[in-house]
Chains A and B, each alone.
Chain A
């Protein structure tokens, strides 16, 4: 990019990291068993990304574009509704 096109002083608009996909970092991916999930939001409050999305009127879902497969959610889920499964 030419110096004329870059933002002055390298200022960046907030939230733009969402445009960066990190799914390639994963070895395993979390899968939620909807039946067991109580929507307690524990996985959501412990997710470092966050790659767990809260939805109005629905249970949480995994944002697979941004999940790095760390496995915290599986470890912490109280009803054990999340399993880390090997990436296909």
Chain B
């Protein structure tokens, strides 16, 4: 099946990502990539959509990737990965190469919105790869514009807060449900603060013969407006406030992997980021309530799904 990660010391000494890349000091995406690649076998091949991660780690003459890596365009990472998978299969059949595990990195931009079609097609066709959406909740690379992954109430440059509006009016798309609807063998959420949970999900996913998915929060100090030293803390707080539940869906069965019986108040998370500061103005009290409701509804739904699907296997999908 797969080897569980017990402690950090058992992880390889060889760094899959070289320093000297141009990601911001304290970038969450970078930690996502490091933790995932440290948990994965050393012969993974990486496909990357255009975005913060890609432009900052692959400059001509300066590549941070100690793994074979390909970037093509913004919306097609899953399609490129489909081709890479097929290419290796064909070469292996001819005896001129072998198959390798494939990990795809796409931001929320390249996954929720412009890249959703390619991801959907690739999942429906059943290609074997692990798709990781590193979610910083906006189009960060082009300057913090809203995406389908931007939560309700968040400030972005295209969902500004003023007298007429209080940040994004629409809810965050439920990406995990979209993925699960494709009957993939495995999909899970993960947080860099909970590295052991994340790494075991990586290994579990890679052991499956089909498309697998990880939705990982990647806190962005630039776009969320907080000090870069608090990145891990921010991700941890997202879990502890139930805003970002850590769960997995295996063969359609939901399971919360890090239960949060007594959540911290959501305000603690929201108040620590500049992108939510307008929610605490008296005139935006309704919007703040809507944001809190979103979190409660989402966590409650996942709790109910895990109870329901545990009792009736095959009920949700698979």
A and B touch in the complex (CB under 8 A): yes
The residues of A with any CB-CB pair to B shorter than 8 Å are 6-7, 10, 12-22, 25-26, 40-42, 44-51, 54, 56, 63, 65-66, 68-72, 74-76, 84
Complex CA–CA separation, A73 to B9 (angstroms): 17
Residue of B nearest to A53 (CB): B15
Residues of A within 8 A of B64 (CB): 15, 17
The residues of B with any CB-CB pair to A shorter than 8 Å are 8-9, 11, 13, 15, 17-28, 30-31, 34-35, 38, 57-69, 192, 195, 227-233
Complex CA–CA separation, A81 to B56 (angstroms): 30
Complex CA–CA separation, A20 to B19 (angstroms): 8
5 A-B pairs with least C-beta separation: A71-B229, A66-B19, A70-B26, A48-B30, A68-B25
Residue of B nearest to A10 (CB): B60
Number of CB contacts from chain A to chain B under 8 A: 118
Complex CA–CA separation, A19 to B63 (angstroms): 10
User: Shortest Cβ distance from B198 into chain A, in angstroms?
Assistant: 10
Among A26, A71, A84, the most chain B Cβ lie within 10 Å of the Cβ of A71
User: Shortest Cβ distance from B106 into chain A, in angstroms?
Assistant: 19
Whether A70 lies near B229 (C-beta < 8 A) is yes
Complex CA–CA separation, A74 to B26 (angstroms): 12
User: Shortest Cβ distance from B28 into chain A, in angstroms?
Assistant: 8
Among A12, A15, A18, A41, the most chain B Cβ lie within 10 Å of the Cβ of A15
Whether A75 lies near B20 (C-beta < 8 A) is no
Whether B15 lies near A50 (C-beta < 8 A) is yes
Contact of A75 among B8, B19, B68, B229 (CB under 8 A): B229
Whether A20 lies near B62 (C-beta < 8 A) is yes
Whether B60 lies near A17 (C-beta < 8 A) is no
Whether B31 lies near A18 (C-beta < 8 A) is no
Complex CA–CA separation, A12 to B27 (angstroms): 23
Q: Contacts A12-B60, A12-B61, A14-B69; is A48 near B8 (CB within 8 Å)?
A: no
User: Shortest Cβ distance from A79 into chain B, in angstroms?
Assistant: 15
Whether A48 lies near B229 (C-beta < 8 A) is no
Residue of B nearest to A71 (CB): B229
Whether A17 lies near B232 (C-beta < 8 A) is no
Whether A17 lies near B26 (C-beta < 8 A) is no
Contact of A51 among B19, B229, B233 (CB under 8 A): B19
Complex CA–CA separation, A20 to B27 (angstroms): 18
Residues of A within 8 A of B25 (CB): 25-26, 48, 68-70
Complex CA–CA separation, A71 to B229 (angstroms): 4
Q: Contacts A41-B8, A45-B8; is A15 near B228 (CB within 8 Å)?
A: no
Whether A17 lies near B19 (C-beta < 8 A) is yes
Complex CA–CA separation, A15 to B67 (angstroms): 8
Complex CA–CA separation, A48 to B137 (angstroms): 19
Whether B61 lies near A48 (C-beta < 8 A) is no
Whether A12 lies near B67 (C-beta < 8 A) is no
Whether B229 lies near A46 (C-beta < 8 A) is no
Whether A14 lies near B195 (C-beta < 8 A) is no
Whether B62 lies near A46 (C-beta < 8 A) is no
Residues of B within 8 A of A70 (CB): 25-26, 228-229, 231
